[in-house]
């Protein structure tokens, strides 16, 4: 049985400021993932503290907060088969120089500090991050993508 899972993705301020929103979203939709929640927002210092709570007290913590609050982000909930692992693979290594060719970070970023995108790294962090940025009623999972409609219609018709 194929099970769907959800992950949190954020296009970071540098990705938004560089006009990469459409190009990045296109990658997920082309892959067949379903975006079930999305919004443009300005991250407050309080929201950043929740997002980066595991890094509090580390030398780079203030840089993280300053960066994520430096401009708007696009927050998304992406759904699909093995979404967490697959999205992380599509995003690429944190350091764009080490990221595989064809990944989002390899294609759109040059330095680790401004790497265009964030994606949850585990089931637990996905659930935690989704809850930070979205209320349950902001997640729209009661619709079928065209891919789902075609697949389910073929299954029902015996094709």
Catalytic residues: 118
Answer yes or no: are the C-beta atoms of 24 and 11 closer than 8 Å: yes
Partners of 38 in the β-ladder:
76
Cα dihedral across residues 108, 115, 123, 101: positive or negative: positive
CA-wise closest residue to 89 among 80, 78, 107, 102: 102
Q: What angle do CA 146, 91, 32 make, to 5 degrees?
A: 10
Answer yes or no: are the C-beta atoms of 119 and 1 closer than 8 Å: no
């Amino acid at each position: 049985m194929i099970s769907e899972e959800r992950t949190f993705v954020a296009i970071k301020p540098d990705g938004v400021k560089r006009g990469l929103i459409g190009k990045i979203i296109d990658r997920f939709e082309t892959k067949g993932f379903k975006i079930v929640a999305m919004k443009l927002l300005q991250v407050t210092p309080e929201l950043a503290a929740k997002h980066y709570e595991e890094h509090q007290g580390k030398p780079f913590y203030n840089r993280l907060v300053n960066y994520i609050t430096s401009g708007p982000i696009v927050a998304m909930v992406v759904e699909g088969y093995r979404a967490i692992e697959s999205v992380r693979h599509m995003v690429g290594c944190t350091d764009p120089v080490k990221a595989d060719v064809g990944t989002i970070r390899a294609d759109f970023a040059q330095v680790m500090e401004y790497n265009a995108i964030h994606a949850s790294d585990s089931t637990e962090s996905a659930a935690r991050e989704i809850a930070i940025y979205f209320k349950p009623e902001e997640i729209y999972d009661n619709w079928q993508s065209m891919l789902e409609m075609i697949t389910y219609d073929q299954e029902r018709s015996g094709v």
